[in-house]
Amino acid sequence: MTPKPLRIATRKSALALWQAEHVAARLRALSPRRPIALAPLTTQGDRNLQDSLALIGGKGLFVKELEVALTEGRADLAVHSMKDVPAELPPAFVIGAVLEREDPRDALVSVRWPDFAALPHGARLGSSSLRRQCQLLHRRRDLRILPLRGNVDTRLGKLERGDYDAVILAVAGLKRLALAHKISAVLDVELSLPAIAQGTIGIECRAKDEEMRALLAGLNHAPTWQRTLAERALNRGLSGSCTLPVAGYAEIHGDTLTLRARVGLPDGSRLLAGDISGPAAEAESLGRRLAHELLAKGAAEILRLVAGP
């Protein structure tokens, strides 16, 4: 008797489909007899490309429809870019596994300019990320940061059409789409600290689905899991939002986890930074502690100003 197909909910973008296919291949290696099918969906975040994510509900808009498919039994798993997953999941769902993290840094892509320092005065830089905006403007207040949404091909098309002098994209997405050759320069984390869990693929399932949770446990990459726990705990402690100007980046060396964070005003006029180190086994606690320290140093005021009334 053929086992019931395992259905994977995913967004329809080229990058999302790549990630879902990658997860499917890993699952086939674990369970070769079980058929696996993708269930591509269009999310509200994909449908509305005109408005800022912060205005229309945040990056959780890329996740909600996939969770509805899980609830209604139209899918067994959902594959996400973890940077798009809200800091708090509904109780009915869990992240069953994260795969080994790809390069989490930001990339500058330009037709003409070789790196960030070479951008001319007043250059038009495409990015809708307040995290990137606050850090890059803190370094160079002369830049003009212009909104940029859409899938990777759409963003690159706008650059090549001359709408921008350069755009900022995630290294991980470009590499996964075989577009690494488009990268003009990889931005050092000292210039642009990455987004929470950027470069990490997460697999969500129903909390009560013990069979799926057991299957996914075989895919989970432990060091990436600990880094993700630390960064997401930091984000929960600060704001819980994927759209506010919060950066967090954890690294593990031996048994020690080091977590760095930044919070800033979108115009670059103020940028707070902090870091913490401790046992990797205490990842979530380290994230919470760093959030508390940053809030005490002034992050609470910054986030209140950005979030508005």
Q: Where are the extended beta strands (E) located within 158-218?
A: 166-170, 185-186, 201-206
Q: What is the DSSP letter of 247?
A: E
261 in Cβ contact with 275 (< 8 Å): yes
CA gap 267, 184 in Å, rounded = 25
| 188 a catalytic residue | no
CA gap 62, 80 in Å, rounded = 8
CA gap 262, 246 in Å, rounded = 6
Listed residue (92, 99, 118) closest to 26, CA to CA: 99
CA gap 225, 39 in Å, rounded = 25
Q: What is the DSSP letter of 150?
A: S
Q: Is 298 left (phi over 0), alpha (psi -120 to 50) or beta?
A: left
Q: What is the DSSP letter of 106?
A: E
User: Which member of 46, 84, 106, 165 is catalytic?
Assistant: 84
DSSP for 10-64, written as a single string: EESSHHHHHHHHHHHHHHHHH-TTS-EEEEEE--HHHH--SS-HHHHT-GGGGTH
289-292: long-range contacts (C-beta < 8 A, 24 or more apart)? Answer: 290/234, 290/237, 290/259, 290/261, 291/233, 291/234, 291/235, 291/236, 291/237, 291/238, 291/261, 292/237
Listed residue (135, 140, 173) closest to 154, CA to CA: 173
Cite the active site residues.
84
